[in-house]
Amino acid sequence: MIREDLRNIAIIAHVDHGKTTLVDELLKQGGVYRENQVVEERVMDNNALERERGITILSKNAAAHYKGVKINIVDTPGHADFGGEVERVLKMVNGVILLVDAAEGPMPQTRFVLSKALALGHKIIIVINKIDRPDARLGEVGDEVLELLLELDATDEQLDSPIIYCSGRDGTASESPNEPGKDLSVLFDTIVNYLPAPEGDENGPFQMLISSIDYSEYVGRMAIGRIERGSLKVNQEVAVCDYHDASVSHRGKVAAIYQFDGTGRTPADSAKVGDIVCVSGLDNITIGNTLTAPDTPEPVEFVKIGEPTVEMTFSVNDSPFAGQEGKFVTSRQLRDRLYRELLKDVSLRVRDAETTDSFIVSGRGEMHLSILIETMRREGYEFAVSTPRVLFKEIDGVKCEPMERLLVDVPEESVGSVMEKMGQRRGELVHMAPTGTRMRIEYNIPARGLFGYRSEFLTDTKGEGILNTVFNGYEPYKGEITRRFTGSLIAFETGEAVGYGLFNAQARGTLFIEPGTPVYEGMVVGASPKAGDISVNVCKKKQLTNTRAAGSDDALRLVPAKKLSLEEAIEFLGEDELLEVTPKNFRLRKRILNNSLRLKAQSKLK
């Protein structure tokens, strides 16, 4: 059976190429909203963190209608750290829209997701977006996309993909770069006429692969996936199979079925082959399970999720300020929260560490873990995290490490300093090409070589550089890399930072705190330009005596403190440091807070 009334599509795009904005317009013109309805912008990024960072973390589903055809749109994460999401989502769809910025062209993350889509044999519609940009390069970008398809071994049919020129912001699409469109009907027609309709046996035994899990306080876990075969009704009994084992793990009844409509869900009595649905009422289900008819348990082949490449230790906060700002502070609460995250994030791994109050969390990259830290912080958790560590792997008896493909776009005058830093971090130059007054440079670099580099990169390029990375497999260990060339300024005593103490300390380096900030002994209050740590007394007050020369009592001028974001704080962390995370603050600190004990421990290591 071919479902001509249905199309399931995914949209592939790099961060900030306008994917979510284009989806907004597709939904508006696809009759999702009433004419008088006030519509929030970037409706697909419905998680507060996604809105702030302008990235998609979790895949979402929405549906538009056009000429009697329902179009299920699945928004894929563009970042390789969320690759676990990407691979599963592509199994649900029959075709993809490749969205590329008219000025920037295809980027590393686009390449990552596109390679997965091509491997599955999906048909592709190329959409060149933001054609109204003054620096748009329509012809060149079209050629770059075709070059990328060739590099990724696309079939002849995939190389003949139609190209549509869009302005997502204006909601227009056209087949010609020279003639602007009036609306998105050209894109809608191409989706309906070019991308295949889902096929399947409607009368066969029911089968559905769970590609995503949602969680609701009211009904518990909800399974999202595409019905591969057969049909499903409310209260129907189904069996749950593991993807690596055809045996039935347990059975259950479907309590409710939801179809996607617009950006919401509408309850349905039944669903049939090809539909993407959300099902509730089943316990102990996870991503990768297959729901089947009870008498024919056949699991659907499941995409292998990429292995984690980075790990961090999450531990209970034991600083002098512990428990003052957080709502959830105990090891039990921290453990429960981390293990709960496993229910919906398949790329994550959590295991208990040697001590009872710490846990080792592994993920697909620094960004993957920093999103988890930020989410937990906003929920009211208080904890400490260690510096990220790369996970090595032994392949054929050789120690191997994860590599990254790094693409930098920098002004010509910054090329020298970037190349020098890349050399120190064991980066291998792959490709270099000028684009106007800028240079595009590609490197193959160990993942650990990028720890702490982003903030240095922005300084070296005066904030004008663009840096993108994507996982690039494992290669033999490249040797030692010096992680950080700066030291830390450490608070000498517990108290409150004072302007006079900070004025004396700022001569030693860059400060992270302002007057009035509470500090404790062993807390990192700034960065020293030289290697090695310096203890500073930021609580020191000026003694009010009467023996002072006239005119020497001028006002103290403080340099504004550098406020670290979560990513910058994680990048700054040294091996002997921790980051204290609370709902209100990030505090860098030494593992051993007492100054004399820390110096003794350091002398033993030497």
Does the annotation list 132 as a binding residue? yes
Of residues 511, 527, 517, 519, the one with CA closest to residue 561: 511
Tell me the helix, strand and coil percentages in the chain, rounded to 5: 25, 35, 40
Q: Is 606 annotated as a binding residue?
A: no
Q: Are 541 and 500 in contact (CB under 8 A)?
A: yes
Q: What is the DSSP string of 431-490?
A: EEEEETTEEEEEEEEEGGGGTTHHHHHHHHTTT--EEEEEEEEEEE--------S-EEEE
In a 3-state reduction of DSSP, which class is residue 135? coil
Residue with tokens 């696309």: 154
272 marked ligand binding residue: no
Say how many CA atoms lie within 13 Å of 423 toward its Cβ: 6
Q: Whose CA is closest to 277, among 235, 319, 214, 326?
A: 214
Nearest to 421 by CA among 490, 481, 349, 506: 481
Distance CA 304, CA 460 (A): 39
| Distance (Å, whole) CA 329 – CA 564 | 23
Q: Report d(CA 20, CA 264) in Å as an integer.
A: 16
Q: Are strands 123-129 and 163-167 parallel, antiparallel or unpaired?
A: parallel
Residue whose pair of structure tokens reads 């906003």 in the numeric block:
378
- Whole-angstrom Cα distance, residue 55 to residue 48? 11
Name the DSSP class of 269. Answer: S
Asked if 240 and 233 touch (Cβ cutoff 8 Å), the reply is: no
Buried-exposed string 384-400: b where 16+ CB fall within 10 A, e elsewhere: bbbbbebbeeeeeeeeb
- CB count within 10 Å of CB 352 equals 14
Residues 6+ apart with CB under 8 A from 74: 8, 9, 10, 11, 59, 60, 61, 89, 92, 93, 276
| Half-sphere exposure in the Cβ direction for 494 (13 Å, CA) | 6
Give the span between the Cα atoms of 542 and 6, in whole angstroms: 75
Asked whether residue 537 is marked as a ligand-binding residue, the answer is no
State yes or no: 20 annotated in a binding site. yes
- Alpha helices, DSSP H, located in 102-137: 108-119
What secondary structure does DSSP assign to 11-48, as a single string?
EEE-TTSSHHHHHHHHHHHTT-S-TT----SSTT--SH
545 appears as a binding residue in the annotation: no
User: Scanning the structure block, which residue is given the tokens 């292995």?
Assistant: 307
- Residue located via tokens 């969680």: 215
| 27: Cα within 13 Å, side-chain hemisphere | 28
Provide the annotated binding site. 16-21, 129-132
Provide the annotated binding site for GTP. 16-21, 129-132
